[in-house]
Structures are given as C-alpha cells and as structure tokens.
Amino acid sequence: MKKTLLPRRDFLKISATLATGSVLARPLTAGERTRSIGANSRIRIAQIGCGSRGRLAHLEKGIIPHLAATNFEVVALADPWSKAREDTNALVKATFGRTAKAFTNYRDLLAMDGIDAVMIASPDFHHTTHLAAVAQAGKHIYVEKPLATDFDQLLRAYDAAKSAQAAGSIIQVGTQLRSIPGIVGAREVMQSGVLGKISRIEEARNAEKPYWYQYLKTDVQAADVDWKEFLGDRKMRPFNIDQFSAWFGYYEFCQGPVPQWGAHFLDTAHFIMGCGFPTSCVCTGGSFTWNDEHKFTVPDCVQATWIYPEGFLLTSSNNFGNSAGNTRKFFGAKGTLSIDNWNAPTYSADGGPKRDGKIRGKLEVKPVERPDHFLNWLQCMRTGETPHASIDAGYQHAVAVLMAVKAYETGRKTVYDHAQRAIRTV
C-alpha cells in the first residue's frame, strides 16, 4: 500500500529543526500514517549509514539472508563517504540486479518517494537526529544502539518515535540479543524463580586492545567525504581521517564502551529480569593503557554500577589493557545464571546461600526458538505486532547508559526520576 509522504518543503523544514533539537514531535496527520504492509506487497527499504554496520550487519548478514522468505528490496542509501555508498551499492546490485539511489545525506533520502522502511546505522551521535527525522517521515524503522548520546535529544527522538508508532510505524532497536534463543530461554529460567532473589548482575567484557583501533583507515580522501554532514551538530574543524574512520574512539562522537558494549548487556538484563528503570548509577574510568598519536579520548578502562528498584545491583565493566576476567552472570539466593556464551547459557546452584536442591549440577538453558532480529522486524511490518526490541526497550537502555555517561563526566552519582523524565546528579 502506497503511503502519503510529507511535501518536500515541509519535510526539509521539519528535518532542519529536528537536527538542531529545537522542536518536539508533533502527532502525525492521517495522511502521514503508516500501515501494516500487505503480504503480497514489496517492502521498500532504505539504509542510512553504509559503514560495516550498515553494509554487513544490516544488509549482507541481516535482511538479505531472509530475501527468499520475505518480499523486500533496498531502494535507497545514504552515507557521507562516497566509497561506503559505492561498496554498499555493489552489494545491492549483486542482490537485486540494480543499484539503489544513493545520497550523501539523510534529508535527501527521506524526501524520496517510494520508501516504506529505513534502517539506521549511522555513528552514535547521529542516532537521535536520524531516528526523529525518520519517525516524522512516517516510516518503519530499525535503529542501532545506543539510542542516544544526549538526554534532551533522546526525549525528542523518543517522543517522535512514539507518535510514529501510534500511527503504525514498526520500530525495532538493534539490541539483537533479545532474539537469541538461549537468551529467551534464560529469561524463562529467571521467571521460574529457581534461582531465587537476584542480588547482583555483572558483566566484564575485556580485550587486549580497544576495538576502535580496528576501524582506523589510511585510504580516505577528504574530497570523497561530506565532512560537514559527518560532523552534524559537532564543531567544524579540518578533516581528520582518524576522527572520521575511528570515531568510536573519540568522546564527542561516541562515549565509549559502556554505551557501545554495555548497552547490549543492559538491555539483555532488562529483558531477562523484566525490571524497571535503574534508580541510581556511579561510573568511573580513564585511559590507562592506550595513549598514542591517535589521541583517542574515550576510556580504555571503565566501570559503571546501577541499582534497580527491584533490589539488585548491576555492573558493566571493560578493560582494554588485559583480556582476562570476562564474565556475564546473574547471582541469586538459590543459584547462578551464566550467559558467558550468549547462545548456550547455563545455570547451577553455585554460591546460593538458600539453595534448595532443585538445581543439580550445571544445567544447560533450554533455548526458546524465535525469529532472528531482522526477520522479526520484517515480519512485524506485515503483522503490525510489536517487535522484540521495542522503542520503549531502547529508551530504557538509553536512560541507563546516559546515567552512566553523566556519572562518568561529573564524578558524581546520578539518579533517574522516571515520572519527571530527568537524570540528576546527587
């Protein structure tokens, strides 16, 4: 079913105000509302962000494996780097027999007719801008985590997304662990009560070197990049190949491993526990090992700890100066759940002061089969059902992440007031 899009001049005006963070989401009109896509209709998908996440995770390994079982095509893509656009279009042509329409910016892409859904894999600091603009355009959305790097921008994007959702948009957040059968099985183990009261949840995800080094490039030419588009609302400066290619390592573009890696664990814990928002957070860290000519500014060693109203403590830590000590565990009064292996979690009575003999030895979690994250999104566009990682789940992990970011930046404990939608330091 063809959707009525915003007039181009109105859409561009809305996009500009969203990019500056100066407007709250307005309700969509009836003519702008999206609807479930019929079983025989082809879903026309656009990709914003054509780096490794967009080209490989979203397209090649994400939706394209489901092409035979679904009915979609990639019709447009946007990225400020010409090579990223060309590489992604080569994949599109190999898959569909023709290229997608290519743009350097999301505004021109969204002004194009004939787009049903948009996948967002831009750098972290663009997520809220792109999410809000795509929501205002009335599209179905797949958006990467972390959902936001700024709390006020998070609220604006979340409100825009909720308005779009109310009008029929299907929004999937890219915390894909919710779609892994072993994690779904772990949730059922937790809900059974066999582990007793959970007191602590912890993740330590370490490596010998920060992951942002793998993105450093030497073959990017300034003439091939729309540098202003990449910077967005960040301060203009001369083109910097390190900042462009390895933006993960620069704090103004990415706030480090807690938002990047910790967001996955936070969302997984929220899913398994069925808990509410954290009430408080402390976070500390620094660059202790990797200080060199690249002048990266995100911490290579960091630890964040949240307290939840259900009465447990959750810790997420990263050390990129030593790879030992990796773990992901839920500690309960009657036993311990280990999700060290996402695909094959286990549980035992180890350490449980109130263990009652119901858990004998080390048991494998029975997986609960469900569609993978991308297939789930494609299917929900047909059925109108809520996908595995809803915009509300994304908002919950984003709040927790930004509590840690503010605690790290200020050196003070943060608290979250859910009723007032406010993060404060104490």
Per-residue tens of pLDDT for the chain, all 426 residues: 333 333 334 433 433 433 333 333 334 343 444 456 776 789 999 999 999 999 999 999 999 999 999 999 999 999 999 999 999 999 999 999 999 999 999 999 999 999 999 999 999 999 999 999 999 999 999 999 999 999 999 999 999 999 999 999 999 999 999 999 999 999 999 999 999 999 999 999 999 999 999 999 999 999 999 999 999 999 999 999 999 999 999 999 999 999 999 999 999 999 999 999 999 999 999 999 999 999 999 999 999 999 999 999 999 999 999 999 999 999 999 999 999 999 999 999 999 999 999 999 999 999 999 999 999 999 999 999 999 999 999 999 999 999 999 999 999 999 999 999 999 999
- Which structure tokens are listed for 210? 């920060």
The answer to whether 56 and 364 are in contact (CB under 8 A) is: no
Determine if the pTM surpasses 0.85: yes
Residue range(s) in the chain whose domain bears CATH number 3.30.360.10: 180-369+401-425
The count of residues in the chain is 426
Alpha helices in 197-311 (DSSP H): 227-231, 241-245, 257, 263-273
Calpha distance 88→84 (Å, rounded): 6
Calpha distance 55→132 (Å, rounded): 22
pLDDT of residue 407: 98
The CATH T-level fold of domain 180-369+401-425 is Dihydrodipicolinate Reductase; domain 2 (3.30.360)
Q: Which residues, in sequence order, are bridge partners of residue 203?
A: 316, 328
pLDDT of residue 38: 73
pLDDT of residue 39: 67
Calpha distance 319→207 (Å, rounded): 6
- Which structure tokens are listed for 54? 């967009």
Residue range(s) in the chain whose domain bears CATH number 3.40.50.720: 8-169
8-169 belongs to CATH 3.40.50.720: yes
- The one-letter amino acid code at 212 reads W
Calpha distance 152→400 (Å, rounded): 14
Question: Which secondary structure element, helix H or strand E, spans residue 333, and what is its range?
Answer: none
pLDDT of residue 35: 53
